[in-house]
Chains A and B, each alone.
Chain A
């Protein structure tokens, strides 16, 4: 039976030491969709990506990618599955000692026996897809933040994976680069038949390109739905997040003792 879900996360719990991060998360990503995982900083979004990539293992629950349970895979099995995944790290994570061309060619050289001529053509095609064919010979240090992320995207799709994960792809980008990156994610997903998982807190850009959204807060999924459903949601957390309100279910103030007590009001000062 063909399973339409590429990623399935069931009742997953995970913590760093004694600090629980995820407390029973359920999430599915259908093939060919762009899925956004949103939530405030530190809510466990990136941890979810690391679980899907098999970099960490859940304390409880199962993570399945393409029908394979990551917890049951040995190292070789995990590496075999990762060849079908691409990941775009927050600041690109390009290899700084090699050129843009060599960065994109990296996986092709590591995992295939293609002749150098074929690798050259493939790399230039991937760079052309992200608009940076002319930057092939530049070093990563010569790129702007937006360009570095586009190169990282070209590198992530070099082996034509079935799943691409994006960790905060819009963070720190100017409006033009932001629009370009958003459009690229949508366009590459559609043209290459990928499934994209985007971890972000950029609501406005994400709502333009995604098919489905999960909201994570305090280690659980608090809301989910299509872009239209999320826009229309009257859940207080989603409302606060989508409209960028300073106070609400996510309080403005970090937990602290009473303000009056801290200022020692009503008490005689020494």
Chain B
């Protein structure tokens, strides 16, 4: 029978303590992140009054992400064209390729894949930049100069991310449709008129495009909040910033996928 002493030193007890500690820390961090998000919203005045600050950040988060978004969109669309044609021709419905490519991209792949790429490209950069600004006391220096870092540094980056994300998703979808057209129409020989006209008649502005835009805005909010919070909360060491950058990519990617499921359920099933 185990004695009290055995229990005090047991691996099981340490594991339970460890699990409890991690859970508590996780709950604390979610609370801090929520407070951080509210603080960013409350201090957003500067980001709009001096919109040049936000535009400058849109260049870093949006414009510099263009290459990876456009190239990825093109290839995803080309693969969709190939795979879609293979499946559709089985049922003699290859002229519906335009619908398949457009709906897949506008509803799902555009917002989700663009968001995952955005999290990897821009989210990690935001976390590393804010984390290093903290580690090198630039944020403290700003506070000592009576300039609020949340208003001056964080909020413009937040709104730049939120504005850039739907634009990047739209460009991803447009490039993907072009890729699908290249493969389906130009390479395989699907009828061009059918490709475009069926796409035009099947894609609904509100149900498909607007929902896709809403998704990408929500993803933009989630990714930039996570990226900014991780950077702002990072321990001011090389190891701390490195860990925060990794957490940004992992957490925001998972958040995008989970949010996508929830949003899709509401938008296209409506629970009714």
Contact = CB atoms under 8 A, between A and B. Distances in A.
Contacts, number: 44
A223 B232 CA distance: 39
B144 A55 contact: yes
Contact of B144 (A53, A80, A94, A110): A53
B137 interface: yes
A87 B137 CA distance: 11
Contact of B141 (A79, A80, A89, A110): A89
B168 to A, nearest CB: 22
Interface in A37-80: 53, 55, 79-80
B229 to A, nearest CB: 20
A87 B138 CA distance: 12
A106 B144 contact: no
B205 interface: no
Interface residues of B, number: 12
A111 B46 CA distance: 13
Contacts of A79: 146, 148
B141 A111 contact: no
B70 to A, nearest CB: 26
Contact of A85 (B137, B144, B147): B144
A83 interface: yes
A96 interface: yes
Contact of A91 (B136, B145, B148): B136
Contacts of B136: 91, 93, 96
B192 interface: no
A95 B147 CA distance: 13
A93 B138 contact: yes
A82 B141 CA distance: 11
B140 interface: yes
B138 A96 contact: yes
B146 A111 contact: yes
B143 interface: yes
Nearest to B56: A97
B144 A87 contact: yes
B140 A93 contact: yes
Contacts of A5: none
A110 B146 CA distance: 9
A240 interface: no
B146 A80 contact: yes
A55 B144 CA distance: 8
Nearest to A95: B138
A226 interface: no
Nearest to B147: A110
A107 interface: yes
B145 A106 contact: yes
Interface in B118-155: 136-138, 140-141, 143-148, 152
Contacts of A83: 145-146
Nearest to B137: A93
B137 A89 contact: yes
Interface in A217-252: none
B73 to A, nearest CB: 29
A174 to B, nearest CB: 21
Most buried by B among A83, A87, A93, A107: A93
Nearest to A97: B129
A80 B146 CA distance: 7
B146 A82 contact: yes
Contacts of B152: 110
A91 B236 CA distance: 14
A82 B143 CA distance: 9
Contact of A55 (B138, B140, B145, B148): B140
Contacts of B140: 55, 89, 93
A106 B149 CA distance: 13
Nearest to B144: A87
A86 B145 CA distance: 7
A123 to B, nearest CB: 15
Most buried by A among B138, B141, B145, B148: B145
Nearest to B145: A107
A93 B147 CA distance: 14
Contacts of A91: 136-137
A87 B140 CA distance: 10
A82 B147 CA distance: 9
A94 B145 CA distance: 12
A93 B141 contact: yes
Given A53-B144, A55-B143, 7 more contacts: A55-B140, A79-B148, A83-B145, A83-B146, A93-B138, A95-B138, A107-B146
Interface of A: 53, 55, 79-80, 82-83, 85-87, 89-91, 93-96, 106-107, 110-111, 152
5 contacts: A79-B146, A82-B145, A93-B136, A106-B147, A107-B146
Across the A-B interface, give the 7 residue pairs with the lowest CB-CB distance, nearest first: A93-B141, A93-B137, A82-B146, A79-B146, A87-B144, A89-B137, A83-B146
